[in-house]
Structure 1
Amino acid sequence: MPILSRRHLLARSALLLAATSSSGLAVAGPPAAADSAEPQRGGTLVVMTAVQPPQLVPFSPDGSRSIGPKIIEGLLRYDFDLTPKPALATEWTVAPDGLTYTFKLRKGVKWHDGQPFTAADAAFSIGLLKQIHTRGRATFANVEKLETPDEHTLVLRLSKPAPYLLNALVASESPIVAKHIYEGKDAAANGANNRPIGTGPFRFVELVHSSHLVLERNPDYWDAGKPYLDSLIIRFISDAGARAIAIETKEVDIAGGTLIPLSEVERIKALPHIVIDDRGSVFDSGVKRIEFNLDNPYFKDLRVRRAIAHALDKTVIRNVIWYGFGQIVAGPISPDLAPFRTEGLPTYPFDLKAAEGLLDEAGFPRKTGGIRFSVIHDYRPSTEGDKRTAEYVKQALAKIGIDVTVRSQDFASYVKRVYTDRDFAFTTNSMTNTFDPTVGVQRLYWSNNFKPGVPFSNGAHYVNREVDALLESAAIEIDAGRRKKLWDEIQTKVVTDLPDINLLSDFDFTYLNRRVVNAITDASGISGDFATTWVKQ
């Protein structure tokens, strides 16, 4: 079942509610030469990111996901609708019972150190991802045996079906690494994580801490004649203002849209050398949300959670806090995962009178000064929008007698507070759906995934045994229609129980210098390999 690409992402910034419009901000799309002109060889492409990731091999869902695939490849690529395409695997079959996956691997591929790529590398990598990858532990949990009947055939034997597995084999999610580099060593501490040896179109040259990464063209790349570029430079620029200047002054050619303050989008978009492309973000689709700690004495009461839902105006959050970006959602699944979305979910329209009544009913009347109770709100310190959302929550809940203190902290402290210490009442964050809700959404609502110390899991401590059973059934259901119905039930029950309030779909787009051609060619977006990317000289 295809997953639709993101459409009508960029909406007109609207700081004044009266000026709110649902019309989209014009997206210029890819340069016109992308599909027609003859690629030009040579040149250097400069890509910007905010921070240097802890490692360059994407063993976890961090910044390395946009860098690693230039060096390290996966078994498959995916078209914009997530249709699988060949990469290190050229053919694949899935048994009717969903328990056997067979991959024919590409011949004549070499690692950057000259060693041949074989099925042993692929089998070793899947086994390693099952052990150490944040999501790979779940993605490959049902893989009980890895077989290599010859040097170019890989067979996965599963204990139970995993209908999401075939969409998980992109380089940014499931990197294939060299067995001879990693076998017998601590993968997390392996020096190759920051001096990668891959099979991809670019080879590692230099990493200067907190400054830049240099990659060069792989002359032995299996796809003859590619890549077209001579080199890639990845610049790490931590200051948001400096990032905007780098785009304006043509110091960098490519940057993710969220790296620049949203208040700057209209101005940057108007620059004559800039084009905006909103394709290739399916793997990062998700939702912005407010998550409750259901062990909190106030928020364990459903009436209090419903009161808060009625007190928040999602239209204001979208148009004022997030400058008109994203789409208002009722449930946990992004519009990007259209085949799994459910229409007609319960909603909690903005209604302060209903909110007040629910709080009275719950036994929290207004006291001296009109305050019912006081709580602390923590926000994920990732973007200015997270902070602005938290400040809006404070203002909105003051109107119904809830006194909110907004607490800020660095990212590591936030993760520890919410997922290890559980020292929080409620929080603003966002969660990625990934390529399939069993991988990206189940973790948030499955009671077995309440694991203090494990980040980005069931932080609410939500427990509903009916939902557990539905999630477990959906995880192994190979019939697309039946699986959709299971996810309909899951979403309805979750939105009724309100362990969280889903606000908006996450969004992403890319700033491109007009000299760049074919930067975004599939569902990976700028996390792709840039093998077919070129620059107009």
Structure 2
Amino acid sequence: MSGGTMKQHSARRYRWTRLLVLVTTLSVAAISCGDNKQSSGSATTAAGTGGSVASTTTAPKRGGSVTMNQGLESRGFDPVLLGGFASGDAPAAGAIFDFLMRWDEKANKVVPQLAESLQTTDSLTWTMHLRTGVTFTDGTPFNAAAVIFNIKRLQEPANAGSFGAGGASLIKSMDSPDPLTVVFTLNTALPTFDVNFTNRLAFIGSPTAITASGKDFATKPVGAGPFIFKEWVRDDHLTLVRNPNYWNAPRPYLDSVTIKPVTDIQQNRNSLDAGEAQASYVVDGETIDNFKAKNWQYATVALNGGQGLMFNVRRAPFNDLNARLGIAYAIKDDDYNKIVYNGHARSGRTVFVPESAFFSNANQPPGYNADLAKKAFDDYKTKNGAPLSFTYNAFQTTSSQAIGQFLQSVLKPYGVDVKIKVGDTNANVTDVFGANYDTVNWGINLASEPEPQLSNFFLTASKGNLMGFTDPVADAGLKQATATADLAARKDGYAKLQTAFNQQVPFLLLNLPKEGIVASPKLGGVRLSSGGILMFDEMTIN
């Protein structure tokens, strides 16, 4: 296939993205294009340098340390344990392992990182070429065998509940015609398969270290990223130090990165104000607004989806539609926003924001209606012989616990009993992936390109379908939307998903995305990858 033809294919593949808006709002130290010399020469990407986004005010400065606050602690840093949360373990994973590919928030597409190129002519067979001379920090070669080893681990039945398993399940076979080439053959053609390598299949660990360490690899990971694991004190801090042999020299510029789990909103604000931390992934709009007013940087790529209540529809009580509809009808969006987020959230219940090219008015989600709420709860009681009673799993964050208290207050007049179970990230994620929960505060983070996250979350057969949601209309819509690059066909497919989603309410979205990174004006080279994951390789501090 000629380079010109491949470029035409790429243009068709990404034509629709120009209709979408990538939100990146910055203040004093703006993110800008630096020495990015990548060019598109395949269906997705061609050879590139890995890109650069440097500060416009100063040249990259070597040295210094940065502390980042995160709302969620990790379960461990083995790729089969990673949750992939931009607000949790993904930034650390990117620093330790790097990314096979990354999402370029400027170009609004997938670009090379550890991989040098990723090409396809039919969306069924994809050829990845890796960079020459890259090694893991233990000296093991970063090659095709390492990539295949890691993805095969994600395909093992024992790891079926992992975040990466959904991406790995798309792959029928993997071959290596030479040490730096991997050929992926998929089960079905998928034009958006490349996005998987920016997150779900992005993180590759040293096969030598994984084999030698076994389960202990989760607490002493070895990757080929810009930083090396030094120390992890669970629920206190993770310390990473500069990798002097990083493939993309002279990066990284920082000497070290420390990541701390801070679950309390006010404590996080105080830490940032005091200079104890210079960056934080923030999910509450009030903190974002406060720090933007102080001329801090704010960056986000999460445009669609949002946060709300995820229901476990596999078991009682939320296998009964009346229970889910009752809660949807009982909640006033304005009250929820004021009580949980102090009025700083962006209320909304749709999978796609109104600005998205995929937004559909075909069927509206259920909104506040006290009479319909009472009828749904009465019907539930008649059918099941008792009033609705359930347990809400809350994380240790302030807002997550406030949601539980809000539910208790709003649902009590309807005779609904709500118990709150507060757990740390490990406990809640274990419950969710093990289908051992009733409802939980959860998020669906979708960038302008919603795949593969959207299909991973809603397809009946997907390992990432944590609700147990099954709907043939939704499945047909998703398969239609992912089988083509044509915008009209994709929009029509997603409209079918949204109709089923609004009727069945397996997940009650209550606020649209207003989350992202707040970063000190002292930081340069702030950039995000897929889903808003902060990357540290180009970061500087002045």
**Structure-2 separation of matches of 1:423 and 1:89:** 39
2: distance between equivalents of 1:232 and 1:487? 40
Q: Distance in 2 between matches of 1:448 and 1:224?
A: 42
Q: Is the 8 A contact 2:302 2:446 kept in 1?
A: no
The answer for the alignment partner of 2:276 in structure 1 is: 251
**Counterpart selection for 1:534 from 520, 531, 540:** 540
Query: Relative to structure 1, is the Cα distance of residues 414 and 218 closer, same or farther in structure 2, using a 3 angstrom cutoff?
Result: closer
Q: How many residues align?
A: 492
Aligned ranges for residues 16-415 of structure 1 at < 5 Å?
28=27, 30-31=29-30, 34-50=55-71, 52-59=73-80, 60-61=82-83, 63-80=88-105, 82-96=108-122, 98-131=123-156, 132=159, 134-170=162-198, 173-182=201-210, 184=211, 189-191=215-217, 193-237=218-262, 241-258=266-283, 271=294, 275-281=296-302, 286-289=306-309, 291=311, 293=313, 295-296=315-316, 302=321, 305-331=324-350, 333-335=351-353, 338-356=356-374, 362=379, 373-399=387-413, 401-411=414-424
Cross-structure match for 2:46: none
**Cα distance in 2, alignment partners of residues 295 and 44 from structure 1:** 48
Paired residues of 1:119 and 1:154 also in contact (CA < 8 A): yes
- Secondary structure at 2:346's aligned position in 1? coil
List per-residue Cα deviations over 1:392-421 (Å, max 9, x = no partner).
33333344x333333223246656666657
* Alignment map for 1:496-511 (pairs within 5 Å): 496-511=503-518
Deviation sequence 1:247-268 (CA, Å, 0-9, x none): 121122112224xx76666655
| 8 Å contact from structure 1 (residues 216, 230) kept in 2 | yes
Larger Rg: 1
Q: CA RMSD in A?
A: 3.7
The equivalent position to 2:465 in structure 1, one of 441, 454, 457, is 457
1:68 is displaced (CA, Å) by: 1.7
Q: Is the 8 A contact 1:68 1:171 kept in 2?
A: no
Q: Equivalent of 1:517, from 494, 507, 524?
A: 524
Q: Which residue of 1 aligns with 2:8?
A: none
Deviations 1:16-51 (A, max 9, x none): xxxxxxxxxxx6364488224322222222223356
Distance of 1:301 and 1:121 partners within structure 2 = 45
Alpha-carbon offset, residue 85 of structure 1: 1.4
Cα offset, 1:521, TM superposition: 5.1
Identity of aligned residues (%): 21
Whole-angstrom CA distance in 2 between matches of 1:154 and 1:363: 53
- Counterpart CA distance in 1 for 2:233 and 2:354 is 36
How far apart, CA to CA, are the structure 1 residues paired with 2:305 and 2:29? 20
Which residue does 2:443 correspond to in 1? 431
Superposed CA offset, 1:191-212 (max 9, x none): 3x33333222222334445443
Structure 1 position 66, deviation (Å): 1.4
Q: Equivalents in 2 of 1:310, 1:285: separation in Å?
A: 20
In 2, Cα distance between equivalents of 1:290 and 1:330? 13
Whether the 8 Å contact between 1:438 and 1:471 is mirrored in structure 2 is no
Give the Cα separation in 1 of the matches to 2:235 and 2:395. Answer: 20
For residue 169 of structure 1, give the secondary structure of its aligned residue in structure 2.
helix
C-alpha separation in 1, matches of 2:126 and 2:441: 36
Note the C-alpha offset of 1:374.
4.7
Which segment drifts farther, 55-64 or 86-95?
A: 55-64
Q: 2:320–2:380: 8 Å Cα contact kept in structure 1?
A: no
Shift of 1:102: 0.9
> For the residues of structure 2 that align with 1:374 and 1:41, how far apart are their CA atoms?
59
Structure 1 counterpart SS, 2:228: strand
Counterpart secondary structure, 1:376: strand
- TM-aligned CA deviation for residue 130 of structure 1: 3.1
**What is the CA deviation profile of residues 399-449 of structure 1, one whole-angstrom value per residue up to 9, with x for unaligned ones?**
4x333333223246656666657574xx34223245665643445554446
SS of 1:338's partner is: coil
| 3-state SS of paired residue (2:442) | strand
**In the TM superposition, what is the alpha-carbon distance from 1:83 to its structure 2 partner?**
0.6
How far 1:330 sits from its partner (Å)? 3.3
User: Is contact 2:299–2:518 with CA below 8 Å preserved after alignment?
Assistant: no
Amino acid at match of 2:540: W
Which residue of 1 is the match for residue 493 of structure 2?
Answer: 486
CA distance in 2, matches of 1:195, 1:359: 50
**Contact 2:411–2:417 (CA under 8 A) maintained in structure 1:** yes
What is the one-letter code of the residue matched to 2:443? M
Amino acid at match of 1:338: S
**Contact 2:69 2:261 (C-alpha < 8 Å) held by counterparts:** yes
8 Å CA contact 2:69–2:280 kept in 1: the answer is yes
TM, length-normalised to structure 2: 0.78
- The 1:405–1:171 alpha-carbon spacing in structure 2 relative to 1, beyond 3 Å, is closer
Q: Residue 18 of structure 1 aligns with which residue? A: none
TM-score, reference length from structure 1: 0.78
The letter for the 2-side match of 1:408 is: K
Cα distance in 2 for residues equivalent to 1:228 and 1:421: 42
- How has the CA–CA distance of structure 1 residues 393 and 350 changed in structure 2, closer, same or farther, with 3 Å as cutoff? same
CA distance in 1, matches of 2:361, 2:477: 18
Counterparts of 2:190 and 2:134, CA distance in 1: 29
Structure 2 unaligned spans of 5+: 1-13, 32-53
- Secondary structure of 1:34's partner? coil
Task: Measure, in 2, the Cα distance between the counterparts of 1:281 and 1:30.
Answer: 21
Greater displacement, 412-421 / 228-237: 412-421
Q: Which position in structure 2 is the counterpart of 1:467?
A: 474
Rounded to whole Å, the distance in 2 between the matches of 1:493 and 1:91 is 37
